[in-house]
Amino acid sequence: MPTTTTKSAFWAGIRDSAPFIFVAGPFAMLFGVLATEAGLSIFEVMSFSLVVIAGAAQFTALQLMREEAPTVIVLISALAVNLRVAMYSAALTPYLGRAPLWKRAIAAYLLVDQSYALSHAKFESEPALTLQQRLAYYFGTCALVMVIWFGCSYLGAALGTSLPQDLPLDFALPIAFLSMVAPMLRTLPHLIAAAVAIVVSLIAVNIPYSLGLIVAGLAGMMAGAQAELVMQRRQT
């Protein structure tokens, strides 16, 4: 078995993350197109992607901006969508928590679904990795995906500026959301959470400033959590 070095760990992270570019690329390009179609400039699109780096949160914020929701609602909704990242951070802390502050800050900035999933699985399966090797692998999982995300965001924004203003692209945003959410519905509590959120969102559609979406999201999370508790009690 070859010895793992810091360099080989970094390249292993790049290799393992390669399949994700086929997801990140199209979504980043779609975001760029829809953002410019909504009135953002290329500079604003790139600033958005550089600051947020979160597909679901960016699409959520973009949808609310298109609906002219207040800025505070846009921010709260985007943060709510990204709450899962706090759980990712907590899960990676035992493996990366002893790194220098500046490295942890960069790692936090780059933390996305792909880097978390790959790194957590790697660190659990190979507990002998040193801190430096873990960091190298983690940053490797981020490097390629980030290049693709930023590059395709720019390509999408550049393409969006050349499209006719009256081209109906509104349908693409809900389709993008569905394609992100559908693969995550793997258990009965997930399905219950989604069903409750859909029903509540329809009931609360007339709440001003799109607050019905937040209400629906909270209702779905509570329903899913309750369903999880009921299933656990039945198993004991």
Model pLDDT for residues 84-96, shown as the tens digit of each residue: 788 888 889 999 9
For residue 200, the enclosing domain spans: 185-236
Q: Report yes or no on 58 lying in a domain.
A: yes
Q: Report yes or no on 152 lying in a domain.
A: yes
Q: Whole-prediction pTM value?
A: 0.73
Q: What is the pLDDT of residue 54?
A: 78
| Same domain membership, residue 116 and residue 210 | no
Element (H, E) at 129: none
Residue 53 main-chain phi, psi, to 5 deg: 50, 55
CA atoms within 13 A on the CB side of 77: 25
| Same domain membership, residue 94 and residue 66 | yes
| Same domain membership, residue 122 and residue 30 | yes
| Same domain membership, residue 176 and residue 214 | no
| Same domain membership, residue 92 and residue 191 | no
| Same domain membership, residue 92 and residue 140 | yes
| Same domain membership, residue 207 and residue 177 | no
| Same domain membership, residue 236 and residue 134 | no
What's the CA gap between 163 and 150, in Å, rounded?
20
| Same domain membership, residue 209 and residue 163 | no
| Same domain membership, residue 129 and residue 63 | yes
Residue 68, Cβ density class (10 Å: 0-12 exposed, 13-18 middle, ≥19 buried): exposed
How many domains in the chain? 2
Q: Report yes or no on 1 lying in a domain.
A: no
Q: Report yes or no on 222 lying in a domain.
A: yes
Amino acid identity, position 30: L
| Same domain membership, residue 171 and residue 214 | no
| Same domain membership, residue 192 and residue 149 | no
> Taken in order 192, 66, 83, 13, is the CA torsion positive or negative?
positive
Q: Give me the tens of pLDDT residue by residue for the chain, a chain 236 residues long.
A: 456 788 999 999 999 999 888 878 888 888 888 888 778 889 999 998 888 887 778 887 887 887 777 788 888 878 877 777 888 888 899 999 999 999 999 999 999 888 888 898 899 999 999 999 999 999 999 999 899 999 999 998 988 777 666 655 555 556 655 665 666 677 888 889 889 988 998 998 888 766 777 788 788 888 888 888 888 888 87
Q: Report yes or no on 176 lying in a domain.
A: yes
- Cα 149 to Cα 25, 33, 59, 226: the distances in Å are 6, 13, 14, 36
Residue 119, C-beta contacts closer than 8 angstroms, at least 6 positions apart: 13, 92, 95, 134, 137, 138, 141
What's the CA gap between 172 and 194, in Å, rounded?
20
Amino acid identity, position 29: M
